[in-house]
Each structure stands twice: as C-alpha cells, then as structure tokens.
Structure 1
Amino acid sequence: MKIVKISMLALMSFSLLSFTTSCDDNKGNQEMEMMENMLLQENSGMMGNDNTSNSDGVQDSEFASIMSSYIAIKYALIADDASRAQEEAEKLVKKSPGLERSAKAIAETDNIEKQREYFSEMSTVLYQMAKNNDIDGSVYWNHCPMALNGQGANWLSQNEKIQNPYMGQKMPGCGSVQETITN
C-alpha cells in the first residue's frame, strides 16, 4: 500500500511538473505576443506623417520610421532577446546616419549587455532628435539608476508605463519618467 501511495505521489508530481512547464512555454509565447502588440500600439499614430524637415535635416516621416525601429530594439532588449535586437538594429543602420554607429554595434554583437550599452548611446542621440521633430502625442524620457552596472541610463518610450530595456525581465519596471517631450 505504501508503494502505491509513493507511486501515485510521484505520478502526480510528474504531471504537475509537466503542466507547469507547458504553461511556462505558453507564458513565453504570450509574453512575446504581448511585446509585439505593445510595439504596434506604441507605433500607431505617434509621429506626424507629413514630410516637413526639422533642424536636424530629418524629415518627420523619416523620424517616425527611425523611432519605430528604435522601439523594436527596445522591446527586444526588454524581452532579453539579443538576436532580435540584432535584427532590428540592422534595419536601423540603413535609416539614420546619426544612429548608424550604435545601431551597427548592436547588430554586430550577440552580447546583450554590450547591446544595452550601445542602446544607451543611441537613446541619447535619439532624444535630441525627438526634441527637434514634430511628434503627435508625447514621448517619455525615462531613467534607470541601476542600469549599466549602476552607472544609470536613459531611454525613450511612447507610453508612460516603465518598461526597462536595461534590466530586461529581471526588473522590467525599474526606472522613472524624467521628462515628457511634446512638440
């Protein structure tokens, strides 16, 4: 009787473990779908679609395209997905000479910590571009004091909710809004 109980307990434990593992796999897929949906929501309707030039010589429609690629890189870093960050950065290399150096550096490494360092450089350049472009709505300049091994780093977001590309899935809500940009 004792052997039957132990066998039943072992079988139930195995079943629970299998169920939990399959739920975790689904959770990963659900998180990826959620990130993609958030990317679409962030990109919809934020930038003006006219072709007027700004003080950087970048047309507003070009800036919208650049910002879209930047946001895609941000979400890849939030998801701790270095290969996706590489793919998205490769697309950005061709779009903006001002961001070419950092975008190319992200595209050339699969080290997510190095990608995050280059993303910080990219964010600083893009922040200046955002201040000089017409934006429909608001862009948020966020800061995480713990990013880059305590050096701190900033990033742009199109929604107020903090989603930290530097801490990834360890601490996705770490940080605060430092400035709201509306042009």
Structure 2
Amino acid sequence: MKNLKVTTAILVIAFIGFTAMSCKDGKKEVSNDEMHSEMNHDNSDGHHDGEENEMAMSDDQNGSSENILKDYFNLKDALVADDESKGKELGAILVESLDNLDVSKYTDDQKSELNDIIVDATEHAEHISESPMEHQREHFKILSKDVTDMVAITGTENTLYEQFCPMYDKGSAWLSMSKDVKNPYYGSKMLTCGKVQKEIN
C-alpha cells in the first residue's frame, strides 16, 4: 500500500511537470491551430480572418490566377501550422489550379512567360505533394518566386505583401495577404521571423 502511494505521488509530480513544460509552447500551438482552422472554415459570426476566406472564389473564377493564389495561401498556412499531411494535400490541389490557368487573354510574350512559370511552379507543387515537411519548405521557396512572377504579369484583385525571412536558406521570400508575419519556413520554431519588404497592389 505504501509503495502504491509513493508510485501515485511520483506519477502526479511527473504529470504536473509535463503539463508545465507543455504550456510554454501552448500559446504558439493555439495560434497555429486557430490559423489552420481558418484555412477551411468561416467564423460563425461572419468575421473573416483567414486568407482563404478573404479570397473566396466563385466557380467562374476557376482557371484564374486568383484561384492559384487562394490555393498558394492555403498551402502557406499549412506550412506555418507545421502540418505536413495538409501540405501534401494542398500541394496536389495547387497542381490542378496551375494546370487550369487560362492564359488566352494575355499577349503572346506574356503567354510564353506564364507557361514557363506554370511548368516550373507545377514541378515544385508536385514535389510538395509527395515530400516531408523539410522538403516541402525547400520547394515552397522556389514556388513562391514563381507565384510572385505570375502576379507581376496577371496582377491581383487583392493587396498582397511580399515578406522576407533572412534566416532561412540565406534569405527567403513568400507572399501573404496580411502584414502580420507568419513564417512558413520555420512554422512554430520561429513563427514571426521576417518582415514585409514589398506591397503588391
């Protein structure tokens, strides 16, 4: 009986210690979980915080650059949330959006440039759909450059922010619809590492 009490006391102390340690990162985890849930759901009060919500698409926009941007931002949010399986799923969705881009309204030179961008971006989106998180982030860096180059030609209906992290791979950029920095290259490890370096209208 005495041994049972001692064992129980040890387990209680261990549990309290574990709980205290877990709470240190709890705030970051909650913010990541909340942001992850915003990627796919509207808030019940009608207020929209997530980038996907701000870029809600109608069916007739399938094949537009805005649809590619929506899927790109969803992928970015999955990387911010350290969600490898969601990253793979969204990488595959982005491949489809890239494949559906309608370039018919652009000049011949723009069509040629866009086709080159889409080929390269598709390759990186495919890699993301099949890779672990570390490699998803490596391919996301080049994918972000491709998407930025696409926006330079197609324009955007929304104000975008090019953000930059000096720490990842000698400096890496990405696009966001918010000025708030949420780093897709480090996720919860260094969530706010970076700065806005350019506004795209």
- The verdict on a shared fold, with TM-score over 0.5 as the criterion, is yes
Query: Is the Cα contact below 8 Å between 1:78 and 1:167 reproduced in 2?
Result: yes
TM-score, normalised relative to structure 2 = 0.69
The question of 1:100 aligning with 2:122 is answered yes
Query: Do the aligned partners of 2:32 and 2:80 also contact (CA within 8 Å) in 1?
Result: no
**Mean alpha-carbon deviation: is it higher for 135-144 or for 8-17?**
8-17
Q: Deviation per CA, 1:93-134: give whole Å up to 9, x if none.
A: 111140211101111212x22111110111001012223334
Question: Any conservation in 2 of the 1:142–1:154 contact (CA below 8 Å)?
Answer: yes
Structure 1 CA distance for aligned equivalents of residues 57 and 200 of structure 2: 14
1:4-43 aligned within 5 A: 10=10, 12-17=12-17, 28=29, 31-37=32-38, 41-43=50-52
Cα distance change of structure 1 residues 107 and 8 upon mapping to structure 2, 3 Å threshold: closer
Q: Does 1:122 align with 2:134?
A: no
Partner of 1:170: 189
Q: Could you say what secondary structure the match of 2:192 adopts?
A: coil
User: Does 2:174 align with 1:179?
Assistant: no
Q: Deviations over 1:53-99 (max 9, x none)?
A: xxxxxx78622211111112111111222221111001111111402
The 8 Å contact of residues 92 and 125 in structure 2, kept in 1 or not, is answered as: yes
Cα deviation, residue 161, structure 1: 0.3
Q: Distance in 1 between matches of 2:28 and 2:168?
A: 26
Instruction: State TM-score, norm by structure 1.
Output: 0.75
**1:129-163 CA-partner distances (Å, limit 9, x unpaired):** 22333433310001111112xx2111000000000
The answer to whether the Cα contact below 8 Å between 1:163 and 1:173 also exists between their aligned partners in 2 is yes
Matches of 2:34 and 2:125, distance apart in 1: 24
CA shift digits 1:6-46 (9 cap, x unpaired): 67853642452575589789985773233221676212344
Q: How far apart are the structure 1 equivalents of 2:54 and 2:143?
A: 23
| Runs of 5+ consecutive residues of structure 1 not aligned to the other structure | 52-58
Q: Secondary structure at the match of 2:146?
A: helix
* Identity among equivalent pairs (%): 32
How many aligned positions are there?
Answer: 170
